Amino acid sequence: MDNPQSATDLSTRVAELEGRLRILEREYQTERHELRAAYQEIQTLTALQDVALALVSTLDPGPLLKRIVSAAMELLEAQGSSLMMLLGNSGELVFQVADGEVSQQLVGRHLRVGQGISGWVAQTGEAALVNDVQHDPRFSPESDASTGFRTESLLCVPMQFQGRLLGVLTVVNKAGPTAFEQKDLKWLKALAALAAVAIEHARLYHRLREERDRVLVAQEELRKKLARDLHDGPTQLVANMVMQASFVKKLLEQEPGQVPAELDQLAQLGQQAVHEMRTMLFDLRPLVLETQGLAGALELFIERHRPGGGPQIHLHVDETMGRYDAHLESIVFSIVEEAVNNALKHAQAQHIWVRAGQKGDMLAVDVEDDGEGFNLGSVLQAYDQRRSFGLVNMRERAELIGGQLTIVSAVGQGTTVTLRVPAVATSPKEGWPEWLEEERAEEREVAS
């Protein structure tokens, strides 16, 4: 006969083993779930890495934005995705790219910052995870009403670069039975950060290309101007000198008494040719900027343009001016040079005033004339057709050194160009190389 105590002990032991098996089963399922989640995260990270590589290798804005939107749909397993860009300071977002069922109906539409969930994200800079969109008080139903698409859930994150809003990235309607989760929001934020960097890099690349094109245009204009100036100036003078020399040669045989006067005229032509060529060299590279700074360069520049029958040029350099960063001095000088040359060529002025000085921590430079003036808006609008970039270039140069350039002009009231630049002082350079001192002496000689 079996021992009742043994049977009881065996049942207890079996129950304990069953309990331990159930615990092990739960631990196994937990570990399995965690492993599956880790595997999914690894897959998402790998996909995100692939997206990052694709984004950094794409500099064309169109394909870049499309790649961002398609990547968002794939990573988040969503039915649709859109990317809205902020339109400057207008306070509006525009659907730049969309993917999904009604994508083509959305592209090009505008949305005010603060309008709808996406506008709220743009306004606050905070991300939104909404799994019951239709009952969210921020939801704006206009897009759904016009497209026939029903938005059930969405994730929306801001795209920011160095704290500056570029746009918002949105995915809608999670595919499958599950809803959007916090981990989905984490991945969309990571993608938006990558996208913002890629978009900004693409913008910078295209700005550099535009700037390169501007530089090429400016170089071509300078080359043509140099060719015209050489042809109309020194080349003509040298040709006259050759003719004058031939004439003097004949006078030696026929009327020797007139030779001294003709030689004086020949010498005068030679001096004029030398002056014009040195003036052109000065315009190409004013070495006095390196030796005497901005004040000295302005004085020499004005001195070169005073001879002749043109308008009177008045220069006032305040004693507060010192030496500044070489790059700053070079750009400020080029702006003054452009402004004065414009006044000489187009203003029909009697007087031109150039004033420069330091006011607080700002370098202030004004170029004013009492000439005919012009309609600034009309001139700027005509630049694309005329392929002339003088005024635009002055403003862009000022922006390069953190400055602000304003132009005030009206027909019959003259023109005033005002430049304000943060002053970056530097100590005067000592121990100039011998070759630079020689060129400095030559510039002084030319000025005299």
22 to 33, 162, 421: CA distances (angstroms): 16, 53, 77
β-sheet bridge partners, residue 98: 82
Q: Is the pTM of this model over 0.85?
A: no
pLDDT band at 431 (very low <50, low <70, confident <90, very high): very low
Q: Is 158 or 35 the better-scoring residue by pLDDT?
A: 158
The mean pLDDT of the chain is 81
User: What CATH fold (topology level) applies to the domain 285-447?
Assistant: Heat Shock Protein 90 (3.30.565)
Q: Give me the amino acid identity at 283.
A: D
Q: Are strands 351-359 and 362-369 parallel, antiparallel or unpaired?
A: antiparallel
Query: For 370-386, how does the pLDDT look when each residue is reduced to its tens digit (9 = 90+)?
Result: 999 888 877 766 655 55
Q: What CATH number labels 58-206?
A: 3.30.450.40
What are the structural domain ranges in the chain?
58-206, 285-447
Strands 78-86 and 404-409: unpaired
The two structure tokens encoding residue 418? 């005002």
- Distance CA(170)–CA(139), nearest Å, equals 13
DSSP states along 427-438: PPP-S--HHHHH
The DSSP code sequence of 31-50 is HHHHHHHHHHHHHHHHHHHH
Query: H-helix or E-strand containing 379?
Result: helix 376-381
- Model pLDDT for residues 111-150, shown as the tens digit of each residue: 899 999 999 999 999 999 999 989 899 998 888 887 888 8
* pLDDT tens figures, 72-100: 888 888 888 989 999 877 788 988 888 88
427 band by pLDDT with thresholds 50, 70 and 90: very low
Residue 391 to residues 94, 135, 193, 224, 420, Cα–Cα distance (Å): 31, 54, 37, 19, 16
Q: Which long-range contacts (CB under 8 A, 24 or more apart) does 301-308 make?
A: 301/333, 301/336, 301/337, 301/340, 302/340, 302/354, 303/447, 304/279, 304/446, 304/447, 305/340, 305/344
CA 174/CA 132 separation, integer angstroms = 12
The pair of three-digit structure tokens given for residue 367, joined into one six-digit string: 């170029």
Hey, CA dihedral for 115, 118, 120, 123, is it positive or negative?
Answer: negative
Q: Which of 34-43, 173-182, 208-217 has the highest mean pLDDT?
A: 173-182
Cβ neighbours for 114, distance < 8 A, ≥ 6 positions apart:
120, 122, 123
**Three-state SS annotation for 235-292:** HHHHHHHHHHHHHHHHHHHHCHHHHHHHHHHHHHHHHHHHHHHHHHHHHHCCCHHHHH
Cα–Cα distances in Å, from 210 out to 13, 57, 233, 380? Answer: 83, 20, 33, 18
Q: Average pLDDT in the 391-416 region?
A: 88
Find out whether 65 and 96 touch, Cβ atoms under 8 Å. Answer: yes
Given this model, what pLDDT does residue 225 score? Answer: 76
Instruction: Tell me the two tokens of residue 36.
Output: 């599956």
DSSP letter, residue 404: E
